[in-house]
């Protein structure tokens, strides 16, 4: 990844490093399920977006862990955002051995058979300007995560009937979105949370290469394992940093942490405004918080 070549914003929650990274090796599924109980914040009548399968993907070997078709949710852009596209890569940890991958293929993280038929679009995916001021009217897509390895896997375990085809899922999904109109985009933003944040790093160059020079393209990641990399990353002028110390997960998709009256802030800016300022080049964003638990604007997870 050439961080100097492309504009990139990193948004992390550093206080969660130990639990969310070291914990995955042993309690991947249970940790994810527990964390996700916090991820859908209370929003009055959120937009519910139906699931779309990518038909024909299996002919290219682009399938979930169990061999089912990959899928996404898409709310079409309108008005000034009709030719702008936001791709949100779903997170959800990794499966890291045969046992956890076999378990995973019987869940929505490994099979489209178990995915929700409709999904609430909140936070960066919301269609309401008061909840998502800069991206509410864009084409907003959530690409579902079902390969167990950040859309980067390539292989197969025939004995256990496991398909590791994340790279192919990425490719056919981008082909699908380009056919749907993304090829004509004036603006494009690749984003992701957790394992999806890692995927946005891995695929940022490929995402840029989809477009011609007239499209404004940037990548956004919400990821915990970033502190050791920011020194070099921050030297590049197009890159941005919004590093808060909140004990939280996936702040882009939760309405209360993305943009609300009491959202976490750095230098008086919530995440949504900082991301918008960075994407539209309204100002440079290189904000780093004090150490946890100093930030009293945080919405910290409370484990009981």
pLDDT in the model for residue 263 = 94
Cα separation of 78 and 289, whole Å?
36
Residue 247 belongs to a domain: yes
pLDDT bucket at 248, cuts 50 / 70 / 90:
confident
Q: Which residue has better confidence, 8 or 215?
A: 215
Please state the domain count of the chain. Answer: 1
Could you read off the pLDDT of 186-211 as tens digits, one per residue?
999 999 998 999 999 999 999 999 99
The whole-number pLDDT of residue 12 equals 43
DSSP string, 19-70: IIIITHHHHHHHHHHHHHTTTS---SSPEEEEEEE-TTGGGGT---TTSPPP
Q: Specify if 266 maps to a domain.
A: yes
Report if residue 301 sits inside a domain: no
Distance CA 63, CA 8 (A): 29
Residue 22: per-residue pLDDT: 25
pLDDT digit string, tens, across residues 23-72: 233 334 444 444 454 455 456 789 999 999 999 999 999 999 999 999 99
Domain limits for position 244: 8-288
> For residue 295, is it within any domain?
no
Residue range 100-106: mean pLDDT, rounded: 97
Q: Are strands 155-157 and 162-164 parallel, antiparallel or unpaired?
A: antiparallel
User: What pLDDT is stored for residue 8 in this prediction?
Assistant: 53
| Bridge partners, residue 10, by sequence | 221, 241
Ordered DSSP codes for the chain: --TTTS-EEEEEEGGGHIIIIITHHHHHHHHHHHHHTTTS---SSPEEEEEEE-TTGGGGT---TTSPPPEEEEE---GGGTTEEEEEE-------SHHHHHHHTTSTTT-GGGS-SEEEE-GGG-S-TTTSTTTTTSEEEEE---SSSTT---EEETTTTEEE-HHHHHHHHHHHHHHTTGGG-SEEEEEEBTHHHHHHHHTHHHHHHTS-TTSEEEEEEE-STTGGGHHHHTTSTT-EEEEE--S-S-TTT-HHHHSSTT--EETTEEHHHHHHHHHTTSS--EEEPPSTT--TT-------
User: In this structure, is residue 294 part of a structural domain?
Assistant: no
pLDDT at position 230 is 66
């Amino acid at each position: 990844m050439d961080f100097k070549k492309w504009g990139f914003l990193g948004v992390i929650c550093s206080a969660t490093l130990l639990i969310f990274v070291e914990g995955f090796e042993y309690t991947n599924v249970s940790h994810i399920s527990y964390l996700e109980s916090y991820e859908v914040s209370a929003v009055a009548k959120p937009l519910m977006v139906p699931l779309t399968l990518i038909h024909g993907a299996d002919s290219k070997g682009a399938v979930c862990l169990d061999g089912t078709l990959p899928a996404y949710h898409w709310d079409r852009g309108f008005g000034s955002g009709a030719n702008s596209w936001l791709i949100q890569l779903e997170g959800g940890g990794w499966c890291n051995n045969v046992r956890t991958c076999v378990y995973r293929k019987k869940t929505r993280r490994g099979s489209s058979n178990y995915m929700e038929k409709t999904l609430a679009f909140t936070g960066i995916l919301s269609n309401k300007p008061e909840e998502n001021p800069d991206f509410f009217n864009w084409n907003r897509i959530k690409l579902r995560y079902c390969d167990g390895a950040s859309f980067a896997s390539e292989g197969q375990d025939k004995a256990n009937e496991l398909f590791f085809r994340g790279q192919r899922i990425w490719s056919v999904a981008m082909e699908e979105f380009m056919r749907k109109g993304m090829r004509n985009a004036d603006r494009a933003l690749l984003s992701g949370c957790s394992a999806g944040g890692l995927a946005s790093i891995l695929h940022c160059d490929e995402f840029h290469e989809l477009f011609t020079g007239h499209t404004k393209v940037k990548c956004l990641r919400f990821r915990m394992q970033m502190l050791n990399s920011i020194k070099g990353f921050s030297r590049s002028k197009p890159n941005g940093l919004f590093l808060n110390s909140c004990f939280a997960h996936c702040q882009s998709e939760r309405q209360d942490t993305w943009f609300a009256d009491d959202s976490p802030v750095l230098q008086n800016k919530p995440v949504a405004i900082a991301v918008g300022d960075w994407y539209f080049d309204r100002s440079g964003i290189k904000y780093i918080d004090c150490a946890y638990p100093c930030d009293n604007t945080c919405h910290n997870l409370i484990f009981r």
